[in-house]
Amino acid sequence: MENNSWKETLEELWGQTCRTALDLGDAAGRGAKAAGKTAETAARYAKLKLEEADLTAQVRRKLQRVGEMVYATHTGDPTGSDAMEEALLEIDSLREVLREKERQRLGLRGLRRCGGCGAMNEGKNEYCTNCGQPLERQAEE
């Protein structure tokens, strides 16, 4: 009888060991998945930062060109208003794309910028904590 008791105890210990091993495997899998998601988010964040830097450089070049056109007008060699308008519209377009990239990047960190005062807010906020203006709703990604 005592032999059966030891056998049952060993079987119970083996069962607990197997369940613990499965639980640890599940936990490791969840940890790996979380780490992968964090790495993916970090990569998306870095990519958005690079895209923002590129767009900012493009805006600077366009603004420099507009400045050159204005100065040319001052010195008596005016640039056509169509060329100036085209350059300004390109700048507007680039800035809109830049704002969208920033919104996406901030969203990865759970933040939103107020369109009124520029203050940073938690993504869950409906109103700016600085000025009280309603925050633009974020599209689900």
> Nearest CA to 125 among 111, 115, 106?
111
Q: What is the 3-state secondary structure (H, E, C) of 41-60?
A: HHHHHHHHHHHHHHHHHHHH
How many domains does the chain contain in total? 2
Residues of the domain holding 74: 2-109
Q: Regarding predicted confidence, which is higher, 30 or 90?
A: 90
* Whether residue 114 sits in one domain with residue 102: no
Domain match, 79 and 132 both? no
Contact 127/119 with Cβ under 8 angstroms? Answer: no
One domain for residues 14 and 45? yes
User: How sure is the predictor about 127, in pLDDT bands with cuts at 50, 70 and 90?
Assistant: very high
Q: Are 33 and 62 part of one and the same domain?
A: yes
Question: How does residue 139 score in pLDDT terms, banded at 50, 70 and 90?
Answer: low
| Chain segment 67-126, per-residue pLDDT in tens | 999 999 999 988 888 999 999 999 999 999 999 999 999 989 999 999 899 999 998 999
If asked whether residues 16 and 28 sit together in one domain, one would say yes
Residues 66 and 62: their CA atoms lie apart, in Å, by 6
**Angstrom distance (rounded) from CA 45 to CA 39:** 10
32 shares a domain with 99: yes
- Structure-token pair, residue 5: 């008791």
* Tokens representing residue 74 in the block: 């001052």
| pLDDT value at 1 more than 90 | no
Q: Is residue 102 domain-shared with residue 125, that is, in the same domain?
A: no
Question: Are 105 and 136 found together in one domain?
Answer: no
Query: Is-above-0.75 flag for pTM?
Result: no
C-alpha–C-alpha distance, residues 11 and 70, integer Å? 88
Q: What is the DSSP letter of 133?
A: P
